[in-house]
Amino acid sequence: MSTPHPSSPPLHRLLSAGADAVQAVRDGHSLTEWLTRCPADVRPGAQALSFTVLRRLGAVQALRARLAPKAPPPRVDALLVTALALLWPGETAYTEHTLVDQAVEAARRRAPKNAGFVNAVLRRFLREREALVAALQDDPIATWNHPRWWQEQLQRDWPDHWQALLSANQQRPPMTLRVNPAQGSPSHYLDRLTEAGIAAHPAGDLWPQALVLDEPRPVQALPGFAEGDASVQDASAQLAAPLLLGTMAPQDLAPGEHWPMLGAGAHVLDACSAPGGKTAHLQELAGNRLDLLALDTDAKRLERVQQNLERLQLTARVTPADARNTQAWWDGRPFDGILLDAPCSASGIVRRHPDVRWLRRATDIPALAQIQSELLEALWPLLKPGGRLLYATCSVFKAEGQDQIDAFLQRHGDARWRQFTRGAGHLLPLADNASQEPPRGAAVTDGFFYALLQKLPSA
């Protein structure tokens, strides 16, 4: 067990900031957004602590209710659940004595009258920890640390995998890089990482540009990051560009059917582009020769797209617009390819965003599915006959994946869903990336859904 490094902020400050982060999420705010406003010196610690708490929030909220049936004020409650999560069996970041002492000090500073209460609750938990934890086993929210509706949705969609999916969301995600082919090969960059003392390995043959770090590192520590030699992007997200551009060919090609690459001069739309990882990957694979238009409704987030492109020495026309309102931005030229990375529940990336499960509501899923449907309907007429649209969501819910595309195909007789042996359909964030069908890969990746739709020529 360890204590904070002498140069780091005192633990009571980190606990207080972490508690504020947890309370912000309980109040309905995005953790990512809250952290941008957190003081810089405590931000890394607050993020690490809040991630731990949010991964165990169902259990520690139920635990606090047992220890103190009458809820204390929200700021005290947030501090309590933060400390309880860090005292949970198996957590070893801090010694028990240090943690309790610093939690009480944080209470003195944020709610002096409640410091004794915080001390009493935490010490009781340490005395009765084994029995208190065991008593929560019949509570499904405490057991799985996901809202009940989320669990039920996964049970319906993935009856053979729902428990594994919930368990996978509790794991810390890998840090995966995408090597810029214009700056060198993945094997060469792997050598550079080794020279820098950073252990990594290739993600697998399905992701030829992807390297997985053994331990996450700040991007500033990555060789040539500022010069555009590599980007941070999960392996699942690295499938979008090859699927759309054609470096991955469908398995259902007819005898003699040619599957052309979208390359130099191809007119391509990235309809919901921020923060720009897939936008940049499209141009990387095409040698920066696509006629690429990148849209997003959020002008602020589009700044990230432009920054990513500039760092990688790539170009695209970046325009703030709602892709559904085509009259406001489309010049009438049909597209050869469209990437629709649609707004979704983010249920496939909970490992990276542990607040998502607590922010979403069951009613969000049909509302998001409606937006996805509207985007598909608006963009399909903009595609050339023979062109292709790649529909993507970082979701494991079928309403945002297979069900959405099945409904679209019912409405559009001129659409064909092209099939792939690996790397498309529902990709689950499991050790073998399993699905209802045979395993689709060997790397642990985020949950995604991909469907490549080809527009049939007119009769």
pLDDT beyond 80 at 346: yes
Helix (H) or strand (E) holding 142: helix 140-144
Distance CA 423, CA 438 (A): 12
Q: Are strands 448-455 and 425-427 parallel, antiparallel or unpaired?
A: antiparallel
For the chain, what is the radius of gyration of the CA atoms? 24
Question: Who contacts 113 (Cβ-Cβ below 8 Å, separation ≥6)?
Answer: none
Q: What is the pLDDT at residue 143?
A: 97
CATH 1.10.940.10 maps onto the chain at 11-145
Strand partners, 455: 415
Catalytic residue among 38, 272, 344, 394: 394
Enter the CATH code of domain 179-232. 3.30.70.1170
The number of angstroms, rounded, from the C-alpha of 410 to the middle of its chain's C-alpha atoms is: 30
pLDDT beyond 50 at 1: no
The answer to whether 394 is a known catalytic residue is yes
**Tens digit of each residue's pLDDT (9 = 90 or more) over 160-178:** 999 999 999 999 999 999 9
- 445 and 234 in contact (C-beta within 8 Å)? yes
Q: CATH homologous superfamily of domain 237-455?
A: Vaccinia Virus protein VP39 (3.40.50.150)
Q: What is the pLDDT at residue 275?
A: 95
Question: Who contacts 242 (Cβ-Cβ below 8 Å, separation ≥6)?
Answer: 248, 285, 423
pLDDT beyond 80 at 372: yes
* 3-state class (DSSP) for residue 296: strand
pLDDT beyond 70 at 368: yes
**Tens digit of each residue's pLDDT (9 = 90 or more) over 176-230:** 999 999 999 999 999 999 999 999 999 999 999 999 999 999 999 999 999 999 9
Q: What is the pLDDT at residue 8?
A: 82
**Tens digit of each residue's pLDDT (9 = 90 or more) over 310-335:** 999 999 999 999 999 999 999 999 99
Residue with tokens 């006629």: 291
**Tens digit of each residue's pLDDT (9 = 90 or more) over 109-166:** 999 999 999 999 999 999 999 999 999 999 999 999 999 999 999 999 999 999 999 9
**Domain 11-145, CATH number (from 3.40.50.2300, 1.10.10.10, 3.90.930.60, 1.10.940.10):** 1.10.940.10
More confident residue, 20 or 435: 20
Distance CA 62, CA 132 (A): 10
Mean pLDDT, rounded, for 446-457:
96
Long-range contacts at 375-379 (CB < 8 A, ≥ 24 apart): 375/271, 375/272, 375/323, 375/324, 375/340, 375/342, 376/340, 376/342, 376/404, 376/408, 377/411, 378/323, 378/324, 378/325, 378/326, 379/269, 379/271, 379/323, 379/326, 379/338, 379/340
Helix (H) or strand (E) holding 451: strand 448-455
**Tens digit of each residue's pLDDT (9 = 90 or more) over 392-424:** 999 999 999 999 999 999 999 999 999 999 999
pLDDT beyond 60 at 360: yes
pLDDT class of 7 with cuts at 50, 70, 90: low
